[in-house]
Structure 1
Amino acid sequence: MNQKPIARLSTLLFALILPLSVLAEGENAAVSPVDPGRPLLPTPPDRPKPSRTQVQAMIPEVARRHGVEEALVHAVVAAESDYDAHAVSQAGAVGLMQLMPPTAADYGVTSLDDLFDPKINLNTGTRHLKRLLRKYNDDYGRVIMAYNAGEGVVDRTNSQVTYLETLNYTEAVIRHYRRNGGTAPTQAALEQVQALRGVRNAGQARRLLKKYLDPSLLSLKVQPTLDVRYLNPALHDSAPESRPMFELDKTIIR
C-alpha cells in the first residue's frame, strides 16, 4: 500500500483540528477566568475617595445627630476600615463602617454605590450602633461584639463569643475608643475578652487531644488500697500515717 497519500491525509486532518482545539481553549479561558463558586465582591466606584482628615471631620455631626458617642464612631471606623471609604472586605462588607449589604438594607440603603458614599455609610453604620446600644443597654462590650459577629451570635451564646476575629476586634475597638477620649466603662469588656480567650484555648486543646492523642496511651488503672468500708470518703481518716484511697498500678503503665 502506498503510504504517501495516507501521510498527506493525516497532515491535513491535523492542520484542520489544531486551530479548532486552540480556539476552544481560548474560549474556555475567556468564560472562566474566576472561580465560579466564589461570589463577586463589590467594586469601589471610579471617583476620588475622601481623605482621612475629611472623613474625621464628618463624624462629629453624624454622631451628634444619632446620639452616639463620637469616640465610639471613630473607634469603629478606625478598626473597620482605617478611614478608607472604598474599603471592601473578603466577606463583602463595604465602606468606612464595613456594612454588609443586608444590614444596610435594614436601614433603607439598598444601593452599593450609596454604601461607598462616606456620608451615607457613616449615617447607616451609626444608626446601627445606636440600635445596638439601645438593645444592650449601653453595654459597649456586647455592642462591639454584636457589630462584628452579629446579634444572633451574641444572643445565642449569651455574649460568650469565642471567635478569634471578634475577640481581636473587640480589643482593637476599645483601644481606639480610649485613645479618642471615650469614657464609658470598658474594663469589664476587656477582662471578658481575656476570659473568653482562655475558654477558646481550652477548647482548642481538647480538640487537639481528641484528634491526635492515642487512646491506647491512657491505659492507667487504679486499685483500692483500703478495705471497702474506708472507700467512703466520709469515713476516711486524714492523718500522717493514713494511706491514699487509690494508687496507680505501676505494673501495667506503658
Structure 2
Amino acid sequence: MTLKILIFSIIFMLGCNKSLNIKKNFSLNKKQIEKTIYHWNYFIKNAANKYHVDEKLIKSIIYVESSGNPFAKSTSNAIGLMQIKPSTAGVDIYRLNGKKGQPSIQELYNPKININIGTSYINLLQKKNLIGIKNKEILRYATIVSYVNGTSALLKIFSKNKSTAIKMINTMTKKTFFQYINKHPSKQASNYLKKVIKIYNLI
C-alpha cells in the first residue's frame, strides 16, 4: 500500500467529510497520466477483474473525470475519482446489489468504493443497457457517452425504440458512429468522448 493510500485510509477512519472542489489538472502527457493514476492501480485492477471491464477504460474515465483527485466534487454533486452521482449511478448499483438507498458522500470519497461502484456501473451499461452492440470499439464509445450522458440520451438520437437504435448502431462503422455522435448529442458528451478516447489511446 502506498503512503498516499494509507493517508487517505486514515482520513476516512477519522470520519473526514470535507469535500474539496479542487481544479482538475488535465494533461495529455503519457508519463503524467501514469503518475496520476498510479496510486489507484491496485483498486482499478481488482475492479476490472471483478466486473470484467477494460482496465484502460476505467483509467481513462478516472483521469478525465477527476484527474485522479479522490476528493473531486462537481457542481452537480458527482463525487470522487469516477465522479459518481449518489442519486443516479449510486442508486443503480445499490439496487443491483440488493441494497436500499444510495451510497453516502463519505463512501464515495473512498477510492476503493468509488472505483468499485464506477466499474460496476460500466459493467451495467455494457452488459444490460447497451447489450446487443456487436462491435467492441463502438460499444466502448457508446459506454463512454452513456457514462457521462445516460443510456437513454444516447439511444434516443438513433431511435426512440431501444431495439431499433441498437440495430442502427450495428450498421455503422466506428468512424460513422463517432461522426454521428459528434453531430447529435450535447457538446459536453461529444467533447467528453474525444477526451476519453485520447487518453485511452495514450495509456
Is the TM-score greater than 0.5? yes
Matches within 5 A, 1:25-44: 43-44=18-19
**4+ residue runs of structure 1 moved beyond 4 angstroms?**
none
Provide the C-alpha distance between the structure 1 equivalents of 2:194 and 2:37, rounded to a whole number of angstroms: 22
1:166 corresponds in structure 2 to 189
| Mapped contact 1:94–1:116 kept (Cα < 8 A) | yes
Provide the C-alpha distance between the structure 1 equivalents of 2:149 and 2:48, rounded to a whole number of angstroms: 22
Larger Rg: 1
1:117 corresponds in structure 2 to 110
1:107 corresponds in structure 2 to 93
Share of identical aligned residues, percent?
Answer: 25
Q: Which amino acid aligns with 2:121?
A: H
Secondary structure of the structure 1 residue equivalent to 2:78: coil
In the alignment, structure 1 segments of 5+ residues that lack a partner are 1-41, 46-50, 181-254
Provide the C-alpha distance between the structure 1 equivalents of 2:46 and 2:103, rounded to a whole number of angstroms: 23
Q: Normalising by structure 2, what TM-score?
A: 0.61
Q: Which amino acid aligns with 2:54?
A: E
Q: Which amino acid aligns with 2:193?
A: T
| Mapped contact 2:122–2:143 kept (Cα < 8 A) | yes
In the alignment, structure 2 segments of 5+ residues that lack a partner are 1-16, 21-35, 95-101, 159-179
| Mapped contact 2:71–2:80 kept (Cα < 8 A) | yes
Structure with more relative contact order (C-alpha pairs < 8 Å, separation 6 or more): 2
Which one has the bigger helix percentage?
Answer: 2
Deviations 1:77-102, CA, capped at 9 Å, x for gaps: 01100111100011110000001111
Secondary structure of the structure 1 residue equivalent to 2:93: coil
1:54 is aligned, of 8, 24, 39, to 39
| Mapped contact 1:85–1:118 kept (Cα < 8 A) | yes
Cα distance, 1:155 vs. partner?
A: 2.0
Pairs aligned (count): 134
| Mapped contact 1:146–1:154 kept (Cα < 8 A) | yes
Cα distance, 1:43 vs. partner?
A: 4.4
Secondary structure of the structure 1 residue equivalent to 2:119: helix
1:232 corresponds in structure 2 to none
Cα distance, 1:118 vs. partner?
A: 0.6
Deviations 1:223-246, CA, capped at 9 Å, x for gaps: xxxxxxxxxxxxxxxxxxxxxxxx
Cα distance, 1:58 vs. partner?
A: 2.0
| Mapped contact 1:52–1:84 kept (Cα < 8 A) | no
Q: Which amino acid aligns with 1:79?
A: V
1:87 is aligned, of 52, 55, 72, to 72
RMSD over aligned Cα atoms: 2.0
Secondary structure of the structure 2 residue equivalent to 1:176: helix
Provide the C-alpha distance between the structure 2 equivalents of 1:43 and 1:91, rounded to a whole number of angstroms: 16
Provide the C-alpha distance between the structure 2 equivalents of 1:44 and 1:56, rounded to a whole number of angstroms: 23
Q: Which amino acid aligns with 1:106?
A: D
Provide the C-alpha distance between the structure 2 equivalents of 1:70 and 1:113, rounded to a whole number of angstroms: 25
Q: Which amino acid aligns with 1:63?
A: A
